[in-house]
Structure 1
């Protein structure tokens, strides 16, 4: 109880409430604009949050992170265009409901499901906070190194079909982190006698380039689309009642979101896929899924909104971000000398609880705002892409320059913007680069600290948690190798089957051609014999 009261005292400030309001409403607006997304907004706002108190800056970023998926459901349902990437599954059942004239019902159901998922996730984590406070001190340098390594491996294997390129990009991120002065003896690495490389490649510069500038370039090179929307009539409260008719789907989907959110590198997509698959398999009307099923919409929206609060667990307990957005938030901690990890749970537990309570309040504010402001938000969908691109480009360069008043940082950001644009056009992930930079630095420091007490290789995993993490790493790698082998075998079997089919088809065509040519020759001989003079006897020889 004392911890809870102390957490409320941290939030009992006018600037924190203003941050809650700006973050929640701003996140909804950003999510409702197709093509922007929370990553771009957080990247642009990062430089501004460095001058704020930790709780204020993190509350703004958490508000954008947690509420953007609420807004992303609006264009997904109304115009079949997801506002954020994680709202893609919402289009499966949301837009068919709109085509049937049930847009108001679909939006109400999406808001209610998102609210339930967010509240469920926060309550679970507040209840588990005492357990995390006891487990976190058991993580030493070796355990955190292995956890960071597991996080990178999970991020790589999560990109099915692109594992090799994801691994290469993660290694590139680790390489970028090694540029400049190394953290122990402060010797120069990969500077090539260039003074501007001595301070290293700044994470925020890379993030702004890869996410904000690349998205600006992508919007600028595209064409503006004419979007038609209709004004909604009636209230949006009926979704809360309809959600109560499917408690099993909502509860299981929220649980998937919590569990998947705590695993680095997994996130909303896996949670959505599992919850949607579960809902379809256990539904009495599985044929409705993809054609406007209320259960499918509940499963998708509940799962993705349960992830943000859960994703804060590895960040706060171990200092290990699970995705690009939490990696950006980690920089806010470091700027204010607040180090996430076991010590944070031991020494500043009220601060951790205050963050979870902020997420709880954010969900309430977002739901109230959406229930009364949806008709106005529909106009946000119509903003031209090129106008957005120019705005993002301007704000991004202003943010980069404000970091260190360096024109060199602007050039580096522009280079990474072009690189991110190329990755986007090739449908390749940029997230492994950011996580490689963040986790690479953690791994280097913890490995050096852990090796001081290691005399033999197996001493590195001689403690229970370290051994469990090592087994998990081996298990993930084994499962991924098995998946790759099975995929290659299936591809070979499909290729062999296609070849066999094509060979059989070729033989059939050859036989058909032979039969047709034989029939054609028979008809020609019959015609010739018909019109030629018949012989009446043996011909004389002269």
Structure 2
């Protein structure tokens, strides 16, 4: 109770509340504009948050992260174009409902399901926080190294059909981290006597290039389009009452979101598809899925909105981001010399509680805002794509230059922007590069610390948690290898 009250005191500061309001409403608006998304918005805003206290900067970023999926449901339902990538599954049943003249019902169900998923996950994690505070101190350098390695492996495996490409891109991210001065003896690595490489590749410069600038280039290269969604008529409150008829699906979907969000590298997509598959399998009318089934819409929106709070667990408890957005948030900690990990849960539990309370409040703010502004947001969606591209490009370069007042950083960001466009054209993932840079840095530091106490390879797994993590890594790699061999034999029986 004392921790909860301390969190309320931290959250009650005027600058924190302003940041929360700005992030929450801004995230909804960004999510409602197709072609931008939370990753682009957070990448652009990231340099500005370095001037604020950690709780202020994180609250603003969390507002965008947690609310963008609410806004992304609007174009997904009204014009069959997901506002954010994780709203893609919402189009399966949301758009058919709009075509039947039930757009108000679809949006109302999406808002209520999103609200339930967000609140459910936050309450679960607030209850689990004391347990996490007890477990986190048992993670030393060996355990965090193995957890980071497990995170990279899960990120790679999560890209089904692109495992090799994801692995190569993750290795590229790890390599990019090694360029410049190494962190112990400050010797130069891979600089080739080029002064501009001495400081290495800044994570924020790479993030802005791969996410924001590349997306700006894509918007500028595409035909100039102006969506014209129809206005929404009818009340948006009915969905909260109708959701009670589907409380089993909502509860199971929210549980999937919490569990998948806590595992690094898994995230919204896995939670959504598991929830959607469960809803279809247990529905009395499975043939309606993909044709406007409210259960499908509820499963999708509940699961994806339950993930953000859960994704903060590996970040706060171990300092390990599970995906690109939490990797960006990790940089806010580092800039202010606040080290997320076991010590944070042990010594600053009130800070952690303030973050959870902020996420609780943002869900309430977003729902109230959407109930009164949905038709206004449909006008925001009508921004021409090229005008949007120019705006994103300008803001991106302003953000890059503001980091170190360096034209070189702008050139590096532009180069990564072009590289990002190439990856998108080839349908290759960008996220492994960012997580490779972040997790590669964590692994290097923790491995150096751990090796000072290791005489034999078995000493590295001589503690229960380290042994368990090593066992999980071996099991996952074994299953992946066995699955690959089995699939190859099924495709070409003669080779077996």
Q: Same fold (TM over 0.5)?
A: yes
- Counterparts of 1:180-191 in structure 2, within 5 Å, are 180-191=180-191
Aligned to 2:59: 59
1:391 Cα deviation after fit = 0.3
How far apart, CA to CA, are the structure 2 residues paired with 1:50 and 1:372? 33
Q: How does 1:209-358 map to 2 (within 5 A)?
A: 209-358=209-358
Residue 225 of structure 1: CA displacement? Answer: 2.4
Residue pair 2:28, 2:67 contacting (<8 A) in 1 also: yes
- In the alignment, the residues of structure 1 paired with residue 230 and residue 201 of structure 2 have an alpha-carbon distance, to the nearest angstrom, of 47
Tell whether the 8 Å contact from 2:148 to 2:443 is kept in structure 1 after alignment.
yes
Q: Find the counterpart in structure 1 of residue 457 from structure 2.
A: 457
Task: Please give the alpha-carbon distance, in whole angstroms, between the structure 1 residues aligned to 2:168 and 2:190.
Answer: 19
Distance apart, 1:488 and its partner CA: 2.1
Shift of 1:482: 2.2
Given the alignment of the two structures, is residue 73 of structure 1 paired with residue 70 of structure 2, yes or no? no
Which residue in the other structure is 2:389 paired with? 389
Deviates more, 1:108-117 or 1:225-234: 225-234
Residue matched to 1:164: 164
Is 1:471 aligned to 2:467, yes or no? no
Instruction: Please give the secondary structure, in 2, of the residue aligned with 1:43.
Output: helix
Equivalent-residue separation in structure 1 for 2:195 and 2:407 (angstroms): 14
The 1:378–1:67 alpha-carbon spacing in structure 2 relative to 1, beyond 3 Å, is same
Q: In structure 2, what is the equivalent of residue 516 of structure 1?
A: none
Structure 1 residue 478: Cα displacement: 1.2
Q: Deviations over 1:299-344 (max 9, x none)?
A: 0000000000000000000000000000000000000111000000
Which SS does the other structure have where 1:245 is aligned?
A: helix
Paired residue secondary structure (2:82): coil
The residue number in structure 2 matching 1:483 is 483
Structure 2 residue aligned with 1:501 = none
Q: Once structures 1 and 2 are overlaid, which stretch shifts more, 318-327 or 176-185?
A: 176-185
Q: 2:273 aligns to what SS in structure 1?
A: helix
Q: What is the rounded CA distance, in whole Å, between the counterparts of 1:228 and 1:20 in structure 2?
A: 30
- Partner residue, 1:399: 399
Q: CA–CA distance in 1 between the matches of 2:361 and 2:225?
A: 36
Shift, 1:197, TM fit: 1.3
Counterpart-to-counterpart distance in 1, 2:389 and 2:411? 18
- State the secondary structure of the residue aligned to 1:232: coil
Deviations along 1:365-403, one digit per CA (max 9) or x if unpaired, are 000000111010011111111011000000000000000
Corresponding residue number in structure 2 for 1:521: none
- For the aligned residues, what is the CA RMSD? 1.0
Residue equivalent to 2:131 = 131
Distance, in Å, in 2 between the alignment partners of 1:250 and 1:353 is 25
- Name the structure 2 match of 1:89: 89
What CA distance in whole angstroms lies between the structure 2 residues aligned with 1:392 and 1:491? 45
Q: SS state of the match for residue 452, structure 2? A: helix
Displacement of 1:229: 1.9
Per-residue deviation, 1:479:
1.4
- Of 224-233 and 407-416, deviating more is 224-233
Residue 435 of structure 2 corresponds to 435
Q: Taking structure 1 as the reference length, what is the TM-score of the superposition?
A: 0.90
Counterparts of 1:157 and 1:246, CA distance in 2: 33
CA distance, structure 2, for counterparts of residue 330 and residue 143 of structure 1: 19
CA distance in 2, matches of 1:410, 1:491: 47
User: How much has 1:145 moved relative to structure 2?
Assistant: 0.2
Offset, 1:226: 4.0
How many residues get paired? 495
Residues of 1 paired with 2:48 and 2:339: CA distance? Answer: 20
Instruction: Give 1:492 deviation, angstroms.
Output: 2.4
- Deviation of residue 228 (structure 1)? 2.7
1:269 and 1:333 map into 2 onto residues whose CA distance is 27
User: Unmatched 5+ residue regions in structure 2?
Assistant: none
| Alpha-carbon displacement from aligned partner over 1:101-139 (angstroms, at most 9, x marks no partner) | 000000000000000000000000000000000000000
Separation (CA, whole Å) in 2 of partners of 1:273 and 1:458: 39
Q: Deviations over 1:404-448 (max 9, x none)?
A: 000000000010000001001110001000000000000000001
Q: Is 2:387 the partner of 1:366?
A: no
Which moves more between the two structures, 312-321 or 377-386? 377-386
Q: Is residue 34 of structure 1 aligned with residue 22 of structure 2?
A: no
Contact 2:261–2:310 at 8 Å: present in 1 too?
yes
1:1-29, CA deviations, whole angstroms, 9 ceiling, x for partnerless residues?
Answer: 11111111101111111111111100000
Q: Distance in 2 between matches of 1:362 and 1:70?
A: 11
Detail structure 1 runs of 4+ shifted over 3 Å in the superposition: none
1:491 Cα deviation from its structure 2 partner: 2.6
Structure 1: how far apart are the matches of 2:215 and 2:73? 20
